Structure 1
Amino acid sequence: MLALQLDAPHQPAVAREIPTPQPATNEVLVRLHAAALNHRDVWIQQGQYAGIKLPCTLGADGSGEIAALGAGVTGWAVGAPVLIYPGVAWGNEQRAQGRDFRVLGMPDPGTFAEYTTVPAHYVRPRPAHLSWEQAAALPLAGLTAYRAAFGRARVQAGERVLVTGVGGGVALQAAQFCAARGAEVWVTSGDDDKLARALGLPLGLRGGLNYKAENWGRTLTQQAGGGFDVIVDSAAGAAFGTLLDVAAPGGRLVFYGATLGNVPQLPAAKVFWKQLSILGSSMGSEQDFDDMLALVNEHQLVPVVDKVFPLAEGEAALRYLEAGRQLGKVVLTC
C-alpha cells in the first residue's frame, strides 16, 4: 500500500509502498479514502513536537471503509463507512486525559496511507451527509473544538461568543458548533481575505474584525453590543491581555493552543475583579467524540475543506498548510 512517511525531522515526507497491515484481535482494517492534515504533522516534521519517534506514517484524521475484521470484533461489517477517533488511550477520566494518551500518527501509525488498523472501539459510523473528504476533516478539529466550547467553556444558547483565528480548522469548527447551538458568534483573523471568506460561509456568524486593527477589542465589543461571555482562543501570547478586556463580567476564556507563545503578563486584578474563568483544553475523550458527532448529525453540519491533494503529493500539502494559506482543512485523498 502507499503511505506518506517521515524518516527524520527536517526532511521531506516521502510517499512509498509499504506492507499492508493486518488487523489483530479486536482491531479493524480500514481502507482509507481521505485523511486530513493538522498543524501537528508540520510540527513533527519540524522537530517541534514532544516525544518524536521516527520513522512513522503521519496523520490523525481519516475516513474510509472497513476492509477486514480482526478476531473478536462484533457489530461491524466489511464495507461499513467509518470515521476514526484521532486519539489513543484517553483513559477512564472524562475531566482530563491519562498519562498514556497520545494522538494517532506518531508514534502509532497514522492515516496518511491507503490502509490502517485501529482498535474497533475507535471507529464510528461516518455521518451520511458528508463526503469522504468532509468526514476526514472532522475528527481532530471537531473533537478539539467541541471539548473546548462545550466540555470546558459550557457555551449556552444566547451567549455572545468570540472565536479567534478563524482561518484554522479548529476555530472554524468551534464557530460553526457554537452557532448551531444558538450562540451569537463573532470571529477574528489577522488576514482580511480570510475574514471576509469566513464571514461569507453559511456558518451563522454575526461578524468579525481583523485583530491587527488598532483598538480592535473596543471596536468589536461595540459591534457585538457588549463583552463576550465565552472566548475560544488558540494563540495565547501577548494578545491574551486584550481577550481579558473584551470578556464580559463572569466570562470564560478557553484556550487549546499557544501559537503566539506563553502569556507574558497576566493582570490578576482583571481576572478576579471581572470574575473570569480561564480554562485549558486539549483534544477530547471518546465521549466528547460521540457528543460532537451527535451535534454534527443533528444539525447536518459540514466541515470547511479548503483544498484537496492526492496522497502522493502529501509533501506539497504539508508545505501548503505550513504557509498558512488555508481557510479550513487541507485533505489528502487516499
Structure 2
Amino acid sequence: MKALVHVEKSGMEGLSYREIVERKPGAGEVSVKLKTAGLNHRDLFVLQRHQPGEPPLIIGSDGAGVIDFVGDKVVGVEVGDEVIINPGLGWDEKSDAPPAEFDIIGHPGHGTFAEKIIVPIENVEIKPEHLSWEEAGVLSLAALTAYRALFTRGQVQPGMKVFIPGIGSGVATFLLQFAKAAGAIVYVTSRSKEKCVRAMELGAYKAIDSNEDWEQALDGEKMDLVIESVGAATFNQSIKQLRKGGTIVTFGASAGDVVQFNLRDFFYGQYNLLGSTMGSREEYKEMLKFISDHKIHPVMDQMFPLEQYPEAFKRLEEARQLGKIGFTISE
C-alpha cells in the first residue's frame, strides 16, 4: 500500500510518499481502508521526535474510512462499516491523568497517512451520520483535546465567560463551538482580522486583536475560564484576564514551553491552574455524542491529496489555517 513514511532524516526531509508492506490484522484488530485523514501540530513534532536509525514510520493520528478486514475475536463491527479512528491507545476510562501505557496513533506505532491502517477494535467508532468524510477524517485528536480541556478539566457551565487565545487552530475552533453549545459566553483573540470575523460568525461574543492590550480591549471584563494552548507568548496575559478564583487550563506550548509568572499574585488571586491532554475512550464517546446531539461540524480549512503533503505541512507551519487541514486518500 502507499503511505506517507518518515525515515532516515529528521524533519520534513525524511518524509516520502511511497509503497510500504501491508500486514493483516491480528486478534482483536481491524483493518480500515482510509478515505480521509487530518493533519495536526503533533505530526510536526513527530517529525523531530522520530530519529534517524529508527524503523520507518507512517505518521498521522486522525482518520476515517471503511472496515475492510476484521481479525479474530472482533465483535461489534463488520466489514463495510463506516468508522472514525480514536487516536488514543491504552486509556479507556476517564481519570485525573492518563495511564503510563497511554500512547497516540502515529508515534511510536504506524499512523493514518496511508491507504489503510490496522488498529485495535477499541479504537474505532461508527462515523457520526451528520459528518462528511472530510469532516470525520480531521475530527478526533483536536475535538477530544478540546472536549477534555473544556468539560472534564475546565468544568464549563452555562453562562460562564470563556476566553480562548489564538482562535486559528483546530482545537481552538472546537473549543469555541463546544463552549457556545454548552451555553457559555466566548471571547477569543487572533492576529488575523479574517479569523476574528470568522470566530464571530461561529458564535464568539467578542473577538479581539492579539496585538492589542487585552485588558483594555475587554473593557475590564474578567473571565471564569481561560483555555490556553499558545504557551509562553500569551500565558501571562491569559492569567491577567481571569477573575479572582478563576481557572486556566493549558494543553499546548507551540509558542514556548517555559513560563515565568508572579507566584504571589497567583496565590492571592486564588487562581486554579490545570494541565490537560487528549483524553480517554470514555471521553471520546461523550464527545461524539455531544457533537451529534448539537450537530457540530469541524471548521474546515483546506483538503489536500495525500501526495501533496508538502503544501499542507507548509500551511500548518506558517499558521495560515483557520480550522482543520486534511488529506484525501486515493483508492
TMscore range, shorter length: over 0.9
Q: Secondary structure at the match of 1:318?
A: helix
Partner of 2:22: 20
Q: Does 1:218 align with 2:216?
A: yes
Match of 2:326 among 310, 324, 331: 331
Q: Indicate conservation of the 8 Å contact 1:53/1:106, yes or no.
A: no
The equivalences for 1:1-334 within 5 A come to 1-7=1-7, 8-10=9-11, 11-45=13-47, 47=48, 53-90=54-91, 94-200=95-201, 203-213=202-212, 215-222=213-220, 226-334=221-329
Deviation (angstroms), 1:239: 2.7
Which amino acid letter does the alignment assign opposite residue 318 of structure 2? A
Q: Indicate conservation of the 8 Å contact 2:93/2:281, yes or no.
A: no
C-alpha change, 1:170 and 1:236, in structure 2 (3 Å) is: same
Q: Over aligned residues, Cα RMSD in angstroms?
A: 1.9
| C-alpha distance in structure 2 between counterparts of 1:111 and 1:94, whole Å | 26
Which amino acid letter does the alignment assign opposite residue 20 of structure 2? I
Per-residue CA deviations over 1:15-36 (Å, capped at 9, x if unaligned) read 1122333111111110100000
Aligned residue pairs, count = 327
Deviation (angstroms), 1:234: 0.7
Deviation (angstroms), 1:54: 4.5
Q: Which runs of 4+ in 1 moved over 3 A?
A: 48-54
C-alpha change, 1:93 and 1:228, in structure 2 (3 Å) is: closer
| Consecutive unaligned residues in structure 1, runs of 5 or more | none
| C-alpha distance in structure 1 between counterparts of 2:269 and 2:124, whole Å | 43
Deviation (angstroms), 1:262: 3.3
| C-alpha distance in structure 1 between counterparts of 2:54 and 2:248, whole Å | 34
Q: Secondary structure at the match of 2:31?
A: strand
Identity among equivalent positions (%) equals: 39
Q: Indicate conservation of the 8 Å contact 2:246/2:270, yes or no.
A: yes
Q: Indicate conservation of the 8 Å contact 2:188/2:208, yes or no.
A: yes
Which amino acid letter does the alignment assign opposite residue 98 of structure 2? Q
| Consecutive unaligned residues in structure 2, runs of 5 or more | none
Deviation (angstroms), 1:91: 6.0
The alignment's TM-score, normalised by the length of structure 1, stands at 0.93
| C-alpha distance in structure 2 between counterparts of 1:198 and 1:50, whole Å | 38
The alignment's TM-score, normalised by the length of structure 2, stands at 0.94
C-alpha change, 1:323 and 1:12, in structure 2 (3 Å) is: farther
